[in-house]
Structure 1
Amino acid sequence: MLKRILRDGAASVVVTIVMLGLPVAAARADYWVCPPVGPCFVVVETPGEEGGGAPPGGGGGTGTQECTSGGIVVPCWQAGWGYLNPADGCYYILESPQPPADDPVWEGREPGEGAVYRQRCFGSTIGDLVWRADPPPGTPGSLSPAELAARAVRELPMQGPQIGISPSESGAGLVGLPVWLWTAVTPQTWGPITATASVPGLSVTARGQATKITWDLGDGQIIVCDNPGTRYDKAKHGASRSPTCGYDGYSRSSRAQPDGRYAVVATTTWQVDWWVAGGGVTGAETVTRESTTSIRIDELQVVTG
């Protein structure tokens, strides 16, 4: 059996590796042990070893969630220690029974105003009593990193495209002539843009970056561009096609459309990545934002003598 014991000292962590002539995988903490006297230590089982990953009496990770402390993967919950707060690397468990009203830990507050938890950080065998207005992150009843991330994502001022189109909305195009499509590039319309959501003890930052714009031209044609497009300049571009994002041209006039115009819908797809301050928990998701405009297309008139 290959085990690695990481002993937690007051100022540093000393790693003792029993090699037995075998290669050692990346450090992964299966459980911590804290004897009545002396420092705590974490036992690291060989990946795949039978019985690894669960301390006597329960513990271990919860589902597929993975928690880290000091760059080492550790259980998100441990019997007698409670739940890991990913923001400070300490475990919290509700003190039971709660201290009496005259206990200094309340700092003059009334019992029931928040609660007292026992905080155990690596290197501490007893733990400290701390008062908190809200449950510590990671504990039942608190916001999970993913829930706080959702709040951060909602705070991102991502918008649909600031549509640029040629011919412009105030003018008219002709059947068969190229149409240019673009968006003004700002943090809100293309990114990158960031926002942070925080509660006591936990902070999550989300970063949004646009990856593509899907253009519905209103005549059944869909154009997908993985760039913001190129702004049309009549003096430079004339009747040429866009080099980055455009439509070869409508095949019919817009005369039969509502208000005599094609409705154009532009939908931006955003990649959003989020992470907990201090590391350990990350995630990603995709969101969309859309904008609309319209365009008038006339038939080319042939004049004969």
Structure 2
Amino acid sequence: MLTMARSVRVGLVALASGALLMAGTQAALADGPVDCPPGAQVCDITAEDPGDPGDDGSGGGTGGGSGGAVNACRKETGEKIPCYVPGMGYWNHGCYWLLLEPQPPADDLLWGDDKPSDGDIYRPTSCPDFQYEGAGTFVPRDTFFPNGEIGKDAGPTPAEVAETAVAQMTLNGPDIGIAPEPGKTGLVGLPVWMWNKKSDTTTGPQTKSASAGSVTVTATAKVDKVVWNMGDGTSVTCTKPGEPYKAEYGKRQSPDCGHVYRSTSRGKSGNKYKITTTATWSIHWEGGGETGDLTTTRESDTAIAIGELQVVG
């Protein structure tokens, strides 16, 4: 039986009192349908797109994301909300409840007539006022829930916790290096060198961990490839960051990421070729006895002027 402050029993009705969650709580939830917690008043599974994990806007990114089913419950108003939010707990009886750790001693008054073996004490973390049927209102306090009443063992899947780890990352588009460098003009028929300047936010690897309940997941992201759309109708796929150009290389071609233009950029916008780069981030995660893989993309762009060698006769 549900006990509220020792003596309040089942029959609570949640008041609809405006928004319950702060923006962003659903970013922690993603792939894989999960059963909603036992005891949830109304519960279903819905599909949503978690968006672009880790995109801070500095990389000119477009997200590949890994949308999927989201564990969702409903408020009395019918509004869909997550059944579980890390750090807030489980939705039950119009409130989010987090398992109290450590649990109170067996002789604590919070247990009332119940025993620790019968269930657990939970703390409300975000909820509207409650109302007795035919009585006044009060704010919920630490509460006993019998075994099975709240889904402490039906929390987020490892895949959902992985999304939380990815959301902590900063995954940017390529930090473009190119020769000839911006402001200078290359020549038709001469090699152009391209590279992605190495860092944990542009090439990786980048590792983050996240935990929810007993599940801890570690995710590692790295760029597998960069596709360079050169603005002349061709593209170059580079599976390495690319070798930065040095003056002593002269007219040598790049060993791993280069291009040769066959016509000038005259007539293009600003008389330059616009180059768009798309980095594919591959993310591998492990934890909770499971492993998985996610991908997302980020973009950056630059421009290059290409002219013709003038021969003086």
Normalised by the length of structure 2, the TM-score is 0.54
- 2:166 and 2:263 map into 1 onto residues whose CA distance is 41
- 1:189 and 1:109 map into 2 onto residues whose CA distance is 41
Q: How does 1:95-110 map to 2 (within 5 A)?
A: 101=112, 103=114, 105=116
- 1:114 and 1:194 map into 2 onto residues whose CA distance is 37
Within the candidate set 200, 206, 214, 2:219 is matched to 206
1:168 is aligned to 181
Q: How does 1:128-139 map to 2 (within 5 A)?
A: 135-137=151-153, 139=154
Q: How does 1:26-175 map to 2 (within 5 A)?
A: 101=112, 103=114, 105=116, 113=142, 116=145, 118=147, 135-137=151-153, 139=154, 142-175=155-188
- 1:295 CA drift (Å): 0.6
Within the candidate set 263, 267, 274, 2:274 is matched to 263
2:252 is aligned to 240
Counterpart check, 1:229 vs 2:222: no
Please identify the structure whose Cα radius of gyration is greater: 1
- 1:294 CA drift (Å): 0.8
TM-align CA RMSD:
2.7
How many residue pairs are counted as aligned between the two chains? 186
The 1:285–1:151 alpha-carbon spacing in structure 2 relative to 1, beyond 3 Å, is same
- 1:199 and 1:136 map into 2 onto residues whose CA distance is 10
- 8 Å CA contact 1:156–1:206 kept in 2: the answer is no
The 1:226–1:114 alpha-carbon spacing in structure 2 relative to 1, beyond 3 Å, is farther
Secondary structure at the counterpart of residue 302 of structure 2: strand
- 8 Å CA contact 1:268–1:289 kept in 2: the answer is yes
- 1:182 and 1:193 map into 2 onto residues whose CA distance is 19
Q: Which runs of 5+ in 1 are unaligned?
A: 1-98, 120-130
- 2:274 and 2:216 map into 1 onto residues whose CA distance is 42
Letter in 1 for 2:249: H
- 1:232 and 1:255 map into 2 onto residues whose CA distance is 25
2:265 is aligned to 254
Secondary structure at the counterpart of residue 291 of structure 1: strand
